[in-house]
Structure 1
Amino acid sequence: MQSWIRSSGIRSSKTFCTGVALVVATLFSWAPPLAGTPNSTTATASSVDENGISESYIRQTSQPRWIEIDLSEQRLRAWEGKKLVYSYRISGGKRATPTPIGRFRINSKYRTHRMRGKGYNIPDVPYTMYFYEGYAIHGAYWHNRFGTPVSHGCVNLPVKQARNLYNWASYGTLVMVHN
């Protein structure tokens, strides 16, 4: 058996070991989006803040960074634990095309990305971070009506602020969307 391993080059192949390590790391690092609202069974009345976010839930996540999107205020807040890092005005979804509510995770990031849907086809959308199906947080160069719901369900930010958030957030960062 050892002679077969030696002759096949597997034992001495750094490329093979690196490839296996990458596959294993990818399999164990991926986290599916979390749908729904915060789990009320994990929180007590004293551990839930004014936004309904459980402190114990924040401590249990593997990353202390998380993004809060408050649709009633049209505001995005980026947190490191309990410390506010960014607070930006956004444009969420219109009444006919609402932004989904729940807990999600950033599952893909694109420096620029073409976005298409019914009634729109926008090239080079900057700093796009998808968090649920076709819904993303991204920069919007085509309007300046932040603070007003005008999107098809995505969360629009001014380009400079979208860049800051894109550089700050990573794959798997928690995104909590609420009214």
Structure 2
Amino acid sequence: MPRNLTHLLAAFALILLPVMAPAAALVAKVDISSQTMTVIQNGRVTHRWPVSTARAGKWTPRGSWSAKWLSKNHKSSLYNNAPMPYSIFFRGNYAIHGTNQVSKLGRPASAGCVRLHPDHAQVLFNLTRNVGMKNMRVVIQN
């Protein structure tokens, strides 16, 4: 095979690999601008919920991660033992979790985590446990 063709095929493969990679069985897609989470299971939207992300002066990271660890009855070690039920940690101290401040859902209010209604957090937590953390993606975008 000519050398130029080999390089062309290699470049083509690098471009297509992310497209061809299998999709996660479960995706929690957070839209910062609309303060919503869309849950996608096996390529199908199954839930759309209001969330709260970082308030002014705080930051919610943007990007894509797999779930790293789960904590059903977590308490914040950074914020006065604040309850964080059904936590799904995805990047260091950042998690998706339930909140007792449900009246603030739908607008920025957190210190950086993604807050959900506790009932919704429980659903997502159980879905994550069922598919396995490596098969769950957290995607956060503007």
TM-score (norm 1): 0.64
Q: CA deviation at 1:116?
A: 2.7
Is structure 2 residue 138 aligned with structure 1 residue 175?
A: yes
Q: Distance in 2 between matches of 1:107 and 1:138?
A: 13
Deviations, residues 26-64 of structure 1 (Å, cap 9, x unaligned): xxxxxxxxxxxxxx9448xxxxxxxxxx8x36x524x42
- Cα distance change, pair 60–90 in 1 and its aligned pair in 2 (3 A): same
Q: Distance in 2 between matches of 1:109 and 1:159?
A: 15
Deviations, residues 128-167 of structure 1 (Å, cap 9, x unaligned): 1100010000000144210111100000001111111111
Count of residues in correspondence between the two structures: 125
Deviations, residues 97-126 of structure 1 (Å, cap 9, x unaligned): 111000111110011111132xx2134421
Aligned to 2:111: 152
8 Å CA contact 2:35–2:106 kept in 1: the answer is yes
Q: 1:122-137 alignment to 2 at 5 Å?
A: 122-137=81-96
Task: For 1:159, give the aligned amino acid.
Answer: P
Q: Distance in 2 between matches of 1:97 and 1:131?
A: 17
8 Å CA contact 1:144–1:158 kept in 2: the answer is no
Whichever of the two has the greater Rg, that structure is 1
**What runs of 5+ residues in structure 1 fail to find an aligned partner?**
1-39, 44-53
More strand by share: 2
Q: Distance in 2 between matches of 1:175 and 1:164?
A: 15
Q: Distance in 2 between matches of 1:122 and 1:75?
A: 26
Aligned to 2:68: 107
Q: Distance in 2 between matches of 1:145 and 1:68?
A: 19
Task: For 2:64, give the aligned amino acid.
Answer: R
* SS of the residue 2:77 aligns to: strand
Greater relative CO, 1 or 2 (CA 8 Å, sep 6+): 2
8 Å CA contact 1:93–1:152 kept in 2: the answer is yes
* SS of the residue 2:108 aligns to: coil
Root-mean-square deviation (CA), in Å? 2.1
Aligned to 1:69: 30
Q: CA deviation at 1:95?
A: 3.1
Q: Residue 125 of structure 2: which of 144, 166, 171 is its match?
A: 166
